[in-house]
Structure 1
Amino acid sequence: MDFFNSLSKFERRKTNTVQIGNLLMGSEHPIRIQSMTTTDTLNTEASVAQCKRIFDAGADVVRLTAQGIREAENLKNIRQRLIEDGYTKPLVADIHFNPNAAETAACNVEKVRINPGNFIDKRASFVDVNLNEEQYAEELNRLKEKFVNLLNLCKEHHTALRIGVNHGSLSDRIMSRYGDTPEGMVESAMEFLRICVKENFADVVLSMKASNVRVMVHAYRQLERRMKMEGMTFPLHLGVTEAGEGEDGRIKSAVGIGALLADGIGDTIRVSLTEEPEAEIPVAKALVDYFTNRENHQPIAAVDSAIYSPYEYIKATSTSVAGIGGNSSPIVIADLTSLPTVDDESIQALGYQYISAENRWNKVTDTAPDFLLVADSSLKVGGTKGLRFVDESLFIFADAAQIEVLAQKAMQNPNAAIILETNNSNGVAEQRAAILHLKGKKLLNPVIIRRSYNETEINLLQLKAAADCGLLFIDGLADGIMISNKESIEPTTAVSTAFAILQAARVRISKTEFISCPGCGRTLFDLQQTAAKIRERTKHLTGLKIGIMGCIVNGPGEMADADYGYVGAGPSRVTLYKGKNAIKKNIPQEEALEQLVLLIKENGDWKD
């Protein structure tokens, strides 16, 4: 049994309906959009004002942190103030490490989010706890006893529940048995979900969030497969946690969320950006709108799903053609055909430098495209040596809808790379089906995904391209990417978007990656300003991953995937990490950035 019903036909995953106050969530209802406040939950005025801004931006749900009983109690005041001002959409309490706060919140708001990794388990220490079967069962009984108390209160007050797993905060108990893996994330949720089923509690939503997009997508797919096996149909909340800010945060979120929405998975989404929370809503709305009414797509040829490996990253085998495919990183092709002329300036803008003495172009950035697609008559550059152009000797242009024609071309040209295009409104499924059809016939031509758009807004081009292309790289199916746009957006933007998509899918690293949380009421310093300063100081460290976390809840765990971490430890205090290890603790914030730079230098990872 797989997470999908069909690889050829889009259909939204069927779920039961969950009632959250006056809001209904599930497959019979629109995909709901939400965000989370960054205010102190004890500050009623600030929290109410921010909730209003988020709702006014179009959110269906707003979440607030409740780290203690006092905060959980004050949710009642915030709820009442909002109702008095005409805001009746539901609120969610976000709970970590405090079951008592969860029980209090269940009496005051419409939904409670708990984290299975720390609901009763202490903060993970990343050590093997070596529990035998009897000891493991005892821990589950202890979990059940406390969890059932919360479920009874939720039943009494008609409060919904989110079981929200974070890759960065799995318990030592789970990690010791399953590892820091998607499988561990799924089991962490299923332990709680089975109790819900046994206790006849159905108003449950689940999430599998991670800052690593590949882990996130695999975890959701595995969760859906496990629920199908056990006869469960609960709605899913989608999100890439600690996605960051700006263009990178939006593209990273769209790659992960889009990969799941493309297969009909997801009933509510939150785009986590290190920005004001209301800035998340237009991004989420654009993603949801892009997948609305996709059921009406043109027919796609059936494909043998037995050759599809959607639960782990396995790079599809391909022949190496001029550095494309084989063991090489995916390539990026720049489509310059929209330019009236291709001159020195347009080539330089892509990251190349012309050496006149050698009559040669050299790459000077890690984000310069590998090949250029041009109209020959437009080429006005001083020389072409060093540049690689798309030509008929190396490339086949093919339509993903014509699967048998594509296979014939591949058979006749085994040493050519395929540029695979689609005009299907469900293009990601059509391109996936075409690639799997080739693999099923043992054809090994490398495949470059080409998607064409007609956008005038950069953010929409980025979101749509990321949602369309990311899945094919997460699944290891593609060897390159080309984004084309017919409107007034410069090709340089399409190229930078392509590189960002590859980085989000973890298949080609071309710049520093920032794992940056959006902040919440637990954050005790200006996260947006701090993230901007760290980014500016370290953005030249290509390939390095730096975590910027407002608090300790997910910090060490999410930063297990990062090289260095900057984590809030208290009011204006910061702890610096190397991997999972805290190296410099409780540093005054005004010293922390310089200390981070020093730590990177001490470990030999700094470049001037």
Structure 2
Amino acid sequence: MSLHQPLAAPCRYSRREAISVPIGGVSLGHAHPIRLQSMASVSTMDTEASVSQAERIIAAGADYIRFTAQGKREAINLGEIRSRLRAAGYTTPLIADIHFNPSAADEALERIEKVRINPGNYVDTKVSGGRAWTRELYEQMHQRVEERFGPFIERAKELGRTIRIGVNHGSLSERMVMQYGDTPEGMVQSCLEYLDVCQAHDFHNIVISMKASNTTVMTTAVRLLAKRLAEGGYPAYPLHLGVTEAGEGEDGRIKSAVGIGSLLADGLGDTIRVSLSEDPELEIPVGRALVDYITSRPLLPEETKPLQPSWQEYDALRLGSRARSHKTGRLVGGDNLPIVLAPYTLLEALGSMETKPDYFLSEEGSLTTASGARMVDLVARVLTYTEIDEKLVEELRAASGQIVVLQTLTANPIAEWRLGATLLSRAGLTNPIVFAHSYETDDVELFRLQASADAGTLLLDGWGSGLMLTAPRLRAEEVIKTQLGILQATRLRMSKTEFISCPSCGRTLYNLQETIARIKASTSHLKGLKIGIMGCIVNGPGEMADADYGYVGAAPGKIDLYKGQTCVRKGIDQAEALEQLVDLIKSEGDWQDPE
């Protein structure tokens, strides 16, 4: 099992062979580059603002632009927006985003290149108090899908349009939740129901998305869908990737890179949107940097190919517990929270750091705390995948108390970490693994994207008891904060308040960016609390499904406040809403004063 091999290797990014789908003059699929898109945040009825914002998004490098069309008026005005853009020389295809209103979808279909429909609310509607679901009622609703969606598909065929079947975890229909649960399985089944109507009508200009604000749910649903499409003999339709309600700033970028990057790393994804609660043109450079990083990395040497894990080998472990590692001492591995390690050489910078690593690692392999105390029961063995052979396995088996720090040799840490962790697992070893890699960039934003895509992939795989990422050209505190952010984005360790905020669109009922800043200023000290900040009620309550509290636009100037999934304060004037949110958190016993 010796793996001492030369490390030079050509770059050959391998991507799922999706069929080619036309969207205006910019086709999508395996034969084309990974496409970038964003969504306008202004009102679709404001033609001037829509055209101006579209021009900025195009200038940033977008391949497609999406607009909300909540009603027929907005859908009709998309034709005017498109005409104005074409008259100005722009040919970028436009996409209509539809919720609850099939008539708006019909109007949009006549005017622009692509229409996104949501299976959760295209035909299905929710009834206050829920329904008593019977097989007969379920079949009636299923028949309504065929009756309403079938003619829509036929018209799309006539016009040469493309349809995105866009499933959102936060807006699954009541009947799908009743039958499959609020789960990735429910998301996939929701998609397949509409996809089967397309198959019956021999319509294949289709793009599919599985989106959630939870990166674990989102990535699991996409992987499950890809598997079901292959098993069911469906064409390999292009996949649109995105993490909904990712937020803004560093948190939004880390969360998006974890979810999107881990799928791109396995060749899944033909178009992406990095959803940030910021101006939409700012999403495009982030998406470009992420795609470029994933697709330009080298492969491991050809000689390692027989040893590399297959999709099935690591996918089978993804949804299991993290108990593949045993506890080392009392603090690392097993069911302990993942740790953040730093080289002992960074100890001298500790005085200027507010955010600190859990332990420092000496060259001899001992771990110490920030105070300098040596943890006598924590010892690490630093190695690379090339060193894993029978002799090393026996040494680790005899020293089961050792932590393995899996260091890298190339610019493809995902492949190296996966191979090293798999080789140890095949040998029956369950030592806790800490993933280590050094980044050369001096751009902190680029570092966040790269580290999140790399480490997020392994953590979502189910591997890893910790991280030790370094970037010598960046401030040590930023590097530590990023690692804690990655652990939070993968829902493994909460170290700060989590803000689940939508990216804004023409449905948003207040100034989202200003509101996020105000809420963060008042609540960012509430470690471990999850607060949803949603511009409207279309997906808001659903996409913040696991939030502890929610701040949701209900009408112009009015806010609804949620405790979990329950609306507890309705129609609050926006001027009073933040004060009321703080009061609600206090009344529920979740408030703590800032230090």
Which category of TM-score, normalised to the shorter sequence, fits these structures? over 0.9
Q: Alpha-carbon deviation of 1:313?
A: 4.5
In structure 2, what is the Cα distance between the partners aligned to 1:512 and 1:553?
A: 24
Matched, 1:190 2:192: yes
Matched, 1:447 2:472: no
- Equivalent position SS for 1:19: coil
Of residues 281, 289, 303, the one that matches 1:286 is 289
Of residues 533, 539, 564, the one that matches 1:579 is 564
In structure 1, what is the Cα distance between the partners aligned to 2:134 and 2:126?
A: 21
Normalising by structure 1, we get a TM-score of 0.90
In structure 2, what is the Cα distance between the partners aligned to 1:52 and 1:571?
A: 27
Matched, 1:73 2:58: no
In structure 1, what is the Cα distance between the partners aligned to 2:40 and 2:375?
A: 48
2:300/2:416 contact within 8 Å kept: no
Of residues 461, 464, 475, the one that matches 2:461 is 475
Following superposition of structure 1 onto structure 2, how do residues 402-413 of structure 1 map, counting pairs within 5 Å?
402-404=387-389, 407-413=393-399
Of residues 157, 160, 166, the one that matches 1:158 is 160
Aligned to 1:354: none
Matched, 1:109 2:117: no
In structure 2, what is the Cα distance between the partners aligned to 1:128 and 1:526?
A: 33
Aligned to 1:132: 134
Give the aligned residue type for 1:433. L
- Equivalent position SS for 2:579: helix
Matched, 1:251 2:257: no
In structure 1, what is the Cα distance between the partners aligned to 2:446 and 2:127?
A: 39
Closer, same or farther: CA 124–86 of 1 in aligned 2, 3 Å: farther
In structure 1, what is the Cα distance between the partners aligned to 2:278 and 2:393?
A: 47
Q: C-alpha offsets along residues 423-467 of structure 1, whole Å, 9 cap, x if unaligned?
A: 244321321222122222221110000121101100011100000
1:307/1:440 contact within 8 Å kept: no
Aligned to 2:17: 14
Aligned to 1:358: none
Aligned to 2:214: 212
- Aligned-pair identity (%): 49
Q: C-alpha offsets along residues 516-537 of structure 1, whole Å, 9 cap, x if unaligned?
A: 0010000111000001110111
Q: Alpha-carbon deviation of 1:368?
A: 2.6
In structure 2, what is the Cα distance between the partners aligned to 1:129 and 1:231?
A: 34
Of residues 332, 339, 345, the one that matches 1:324 is 332
Q: C-alpha offsets along residues 501-560 of structure 1, whole Å, 9 cap, x if unaligned?
A: 000000011000000001000011100000111011100000000000000011111222
- Equivalent position SS for 2:545: helix
Which deviates more, 593-602 or 294-303?
Answer: 294-303
- Equivalent position SS for 1:334: strand
CA RMSD of aligned residues (A): 2.0
Normalising by structure 2, we get a TM-score of 0.92
In structure 1, what is the Cα distance between the partners aligned to 2:497 and 2:377?
A: 35
Give the aligned residue type for 1:139. M
Aligned to 1:5: none
Matched, 1:261 2:246: no
Aligned to 2:356: 368
Give the aligned residue type for 2:413. G
In structure 1, what is the Cα distance between the partners aligned to 2:155 and 2:411?
A: 45
Aligned to 2:586: 601
In structure 2, what is the Cα distance between the partners aligned to 1:218 and 1:227?
A: 14
2:300/2:415 contact within 8 Å kept: no
Closer, same or farther: CA 101–586 of 1 in aligned 2, 3 Å: same
1:336/1:491 contact within 8 Å kept: no
Structure 2 unaligned blocks of 5 or more: 1-11
Matched, 1:29 2:17: no
Give the aligned residue type for 1:601. K
Matched, 1:546 2:531: yes
Closer, same or farther: CA 375–347 of 1 in aligned 2, 3 Å: farther
Of residues 277, 283, 288, the one that matches 1:274 is 277
Aligned to 1:303: 309
In structure 1, what is the Cα distance between the partners aligned to 2:257 and 2:272?
A: 11
Of residues 462, 471, 483, the one that matches 1:485 is 471
In structure 1, what is the Cα distance between the partners aligned to 2:142 and 2:369?
A: 67
Give the aligned residue type for 2:484. F
In structure 1, what is the Cα distance between the partners aligned to 2:125 and 2:251?
A: 33
Give the aligned residue type for 1:227. L
Q: C-alpha offsets along residues 249-275 of structure 1, whole Å, 9 cap, x if unaligned?
A: 000000000110111100000000000
Report the number of matched residues: 572
In structure 2, what is the Cα distance between the partners aligned to 1:592 and 1:459?
A: 33
Aligned to 1:357: none
Q: Alpha-carbon deviation of 1:295?
A: 6.7
